[in-house]
Amino acid sequence: MSSYLPSSDRVTTVRLAKMKARKERIVCLTAYDFPTAQILDKCGVDLVLVGDSAANVVYGQETTLAIGMEEMLYHTRAAAAGVKRALVVADMPFLSYQTSVADAIANAGRFLKAGAAAVKLEGAGPMRETTKRLVELGIPVMGHLGLVPQSVHRLGGYRLQARKPDEQEKLLADARALEEAGCFSVVLEKIPAELAARVTAALAIPTIGIGAGSGCDGQVLVLHDMLGMFEGPGYKFVKRYAELGAAITKAVNEYSSDVRQGKFPGEEHSFHGD
Ligand code: KIV
């Protein structure tokens, strides 16, 4: 008999805090649809991030600025449907939370109704107040510091962040402020490894690194990058664990050749009425 009660195996924000205390590394990957989210969940990935990187790897855009609430809700609903154990975090898209605390609450609520268990916001400053309000209302928030892609035009590209001592002190202060505001975790993107390790040691909440070295409590990668879906060298901080782009190309070429030569469908794929 099935039950409506959540499985006791479910990853929660409380469990993530315990993982940090026990020095257990946290595994996070992005997913944007049902089948891949289901595979990640069955593999035991702890956090499934429905990233606004969907703008890049699903919609082919150069920045994450173009993706909006409606697309992110479709992806969140689809990915969450495939997840039984992991904590699903929905990335709040550009201008869905920066405009006002009221907008942030309304939009974060839509993500939770779509199946996410938490939302992610980029930056500190005014996001401290927004985070506080969301958390007060029962909406868990993941922070994101360092290279914050929604600010790509202000940052002047996707460069390494917080290189100078004053920038490093500011990032550490921002991380502390986000923890104080109630974030359950913070993503550290493309910052020096030494700084990420310092931030990780200073916070009680887990840090999740991407291009931030090995000293974080967990790691995240964009799934399409680590599966080798695209040609070219890619980012230095990405390790390619598969070459799916090449595998798909090979399969499609074989299929095309079979169709053109009349080899597919075969007798075994055909129906006969009698
Ligand atoms: O959108 C995304 O996938 C992200 C991760 C790279 C952290 O924000």
Per-residue buried b or exposed e for 106-118, using 16+ beta carbons within 10 Å of the residue's own CB: ebbebbbebbbbb
Which is the closest atom of ligand 1 to the Cα of 52? 1
pLDDT tens per residue, range 60-95: 999 999 999 999 999 999 999 999 999 999 999 999
Q: Which atom of ligand 1 is nearest to the CA of 49?
A: 3
pLDDT of residue 8: 75
Q: What percent of the chain is modeled with pLDDT above 90?
A: 95
Q: What is the pLDDT of residue 232?
A: 81
Q: What would the mean pLDDT of 91-107 be, rounded to a whole number?
A: 98
pLDDT category of residue 223 using cuts at 50, 70 and 90 = very high
pLDDT at 221: 98
The residue-averaged pLDDT of 158-172 equals 98
User: H or E stretch including 15?
Assistant: helix 13-21
DSSP collapsed to 3 states, 32-84? CCHHHHHHHHHCCCCEEEECCCHHHHCCCCCCCCCCCHHHHHHHHHHHHHCCC
Q: What is the mean pLDDT of the chain?
A: 97
- For the purposes of burial, counting CB atoms within 10 Å of the CB of 216, is it exposed (0-12), middle (13-18) or buried (19 or more)? buried
Burial of residue 190 (CB within 10 Å: 0-12, 13-18, 19+) is: buried
Ligand 1 atom closest to 64 (CA): 1
C-alpha 254 to ligand 1 mean position (Å): 34
Tokens 């399409």 sit at which residue? 224
Q: How many CB atoms are located within 10 Å of the residue 18 CB?
A: 11
Closest protein CA for atom 3 of ligand 1: 51
Six token digits for residue 215: 């000293």
Residue 233 pLDDT level (bands cut at 50, 70, 90): confident
The alpha carbon of 77 is separated from its chain's Cα centroid by a whole number of angstroms, namely 14
Cα dihedral value 229, 234, 237, 239, nearest 10: 40
Which residues are CB-contacts of 149 (< 8 A; sequence separation ≥ 6)? 52, 53, 63, 64, 122, 158, 189
- pLDDT, residue 267, reads 96
Predicted confidence at residue 117, as pLDDT, reads 98
What pLDDT is stored for residue 84 in this prediction? 97
How much is the pLDDT for 7? 73
On the question of a cis peptide bond just before residue 140, with omega within 30 degrees of 0, the verdict is no
Q: How far is the CA of 37 from the centre of ligand 1 (A)?
A: 15
Which backbone phi and psi does 210 adopt, to 5 degrees? -145, 115
How many angstroms is it from 252 CA to the middle of ligand 1?
29
120-135 pLDDT tens trace? 999 999 999 999 999 9
Nearest CA to ligand 1 atom 4: 51
Examine the residue annotation and report whether 189 is marked as an active-site residue of this protein: yes
Ranking 3-7, 14-18, 187-191 by mean pLDDT, the lowest is 3-7
Per-residue pLDDT for 5 more than 90?
no
Catalytic residue (one of 71, 180, 189, 254) = 189
> pLDDT tens digit string along 177-190?
999 999 999 999 99
